A = this chain, B = another copy of it.
């Protein structure tokens, strides 16, 4: 069961969730993905929420609607291969900005991270 944060719109969390499923290899290029209704049922959200999420994913070229046949993962491997490093770079940049905003240099942030948990 997915836990939804209530400070971020659910459809954006769905977009994120889907991208991570792709990154983790759940889908191959050209795979058919769950229908709006199926995904809505699985995630226990309103179908409109899925529509909005699929819309964004299609705009970004990650998935493609094929008329009345549903949505399919793009065959464009460049888009797919860029997904993971794009996330990673964003996460790294965000982390360093956050740490800097409370007075940590990059070196200190790395050190703190190593010792964490």
Q: Count copies of this chain in the complex.
A: 4
Q: In the complex, which residues 1-40 of chain A have their Cβ closer than 8 Å to any Cβ of chain B?
A: 6-8, 10, 20, 23-24
Q: How many of chain A's residues have a CB under 8 angstroms from any CB in B?
A: 33
Q: In the complex, which residues 79-116 of chain A have their Cβ closer than 8 Å to any Cβ of chain B?
A: 84, 87-89, 91-96, 98-99, 101-104, 106, 109-110, 112-114, 116
What B residues does A96 contact at CB under 8 A?
113, 116-117
Instruction: State whether B116 touches A102 (Cβ < 8 A).
Output: no
Looking at the assembled complex, report how far the CB atom of A82 sits from the nearest CB atom of chain B, in whole angstroms.
Answer: 12
What B residues does A6 contact at CB under 8 A?
65, 67
Which of B10, B20, B67 is the one whose CB lies under 8 Å from A101?
A: B20
Closest to A86 in B: B102
A-B pairs with beta carbons under 8 Å apart, 17 shown: A6-B65, A6-B67, A20-B101, A87-B98, A87-B102, A88-B99, A89-B116, A91-B98, A92-B112, A93-B116, A93-B117, A94-B95, A95-B95, A96-B113, A96-B117, A110-B114, A113-B113
